[in-house]
Structure 1
Amino acid sequence: MCIDGLIEIIDNLKHLNVLSVNIVVVTDDVLQLLLKRDNLKHLGLRVRREEKYSDEINPQLWKQLGEKHTNLRMILNFDITTFE
């Protein structure tokens, strides 16, 4: 799924309160949309081995997300499998 598609989904699903995505799609635009939500309860982030050096999440927006959604539950999934 492209980031634009994810942004459209987040924007259109008004009752979305659980989201699980690969960490590489957590852009500033995605975080800003999540900040507009009043009911975000669970956020799952998957980190694949080959993505471990991807861009960092914007620390200011991440802090704002935590301050707005004080009861937000995080799930981190680290996929370290390799295919040889």
Structure 2
Amino acid sequence: MMPLWLDLLRTPMAAPETPFLRVMRYVWQGLCLALATTIPLLAPLKHLLDVRASLLIAGLILLTATHGLIYFRVKNRADNGGIGQPGEGE
């Protein structure tokens, strides 16, 4: 039985973040922030933009979800890329 701290040291960590992944993360965070600020402002936006305000928010939701799925898939692939096959290197 190995101590917990030693077991945690042997656990694979996330892959180093590449510049491409960093940009993708910043874009995703920006989309989330934009969506979080436009939803409470729906009433003033509807007054200014009429029906286009709802379309704007719907587009932000779709864009945020799509970019998030792509980002997390690429991030997961990068994290799992550095992990060797079971039994390798032991």
Q: How high is the TM-score relative to the length of structure 2? A: 0.23
Q: Which has the higher contact order (CA 8 A, sep 6+)?
A: 2
The structure whose residues are more often strand, as a share, is: 1
Bigger Rg over Cα: 2
The structure whose residues are more often helix, as a share, is: 2
Q: How high is the TM-score relative to the length of structure 1? A: 0.24
